[in-house]
Amino acid sequence: MTSVKPGSGDSSFPSVLGDNGAIDLAAEPDSQDVHERPTRRISGDAWVADRDRRSLAPTEPPPARLETPESDQASPDLLHAEIADCFALGDYARSLSAAELLLGMDPEDENARQYAVNSRARLEARYLNRIGSVDYVFNLAVPAAKVKWLGLDPQAAYLLSLLDGQTTVAEALQICQMGRLEALRVFTELLDAEAIARVA
């Protein structure tokens, strides 16, 4: 087996040994081997390496987009369409809300006024159907300590306090200091939450 000595012609590394076998640090490295594959080292500075392929002239910023401010209020045409759609789908609460908004913009809008009247009548009929009758008497069905967890506003809490097992729904509606439709809505919400129960 033939060994290859450092500094022999068979080695592809540059020799640092002199003729007498001593290390010669001043020796020039051998010329590049013709079989060695030349490599191209990329500069660590990407900006310098790429400067020939881009323009150094500052570019103009893109033109600013002209943003059209959105209107805070929906157009009357959109509100009319929403009212009609909600009423047709039986969403009378939303139909009433949109109609009242439109009436606030234009009190003379007879179409919106008619939708508001009809939506209010449909809602009242729905609430009364859920309650059963204004002659019924209801009482609190949950412990008094749990009433605060119902998240009632002061008016609704006052309405609940009137349901003492002796006052009828009609009497409570008269003295609760709430609008009739709003009071009926609260009644149905209390019923759905099983916070009240009919006693008579």
pLDDT tens per residue across span 129-163: 999 999 999 999 988 888 888 888 888 888 988 99
What's the mean per-residue pLDDT of the chain? 78
The domain 132-200 having CATH identifier 1.20.1070: the answer here is no
The pLDDT tens digits for 93-119 are: 999 999 999 999 999 999 999 999 999
Partner residues linked to 137 by β-bridges: 168
- What is d(CA 135, CA 179) in angstroms, rounded to the nearest whole number? 18
Confidence (pLDDT) at 149: 85
For the stretch 18-71, pLDDT in tens is: 666 655 555 555 555 545 555 555 555 554 555 555 555 555 655 555 444 444
Give domain limits for the chain: 74-131, 132-200
Q: List 23's β-bridge partners, or say none.
A: 17
* pLDDT (tens digit per residue) in 182-198: 999 999 999 988 889 99
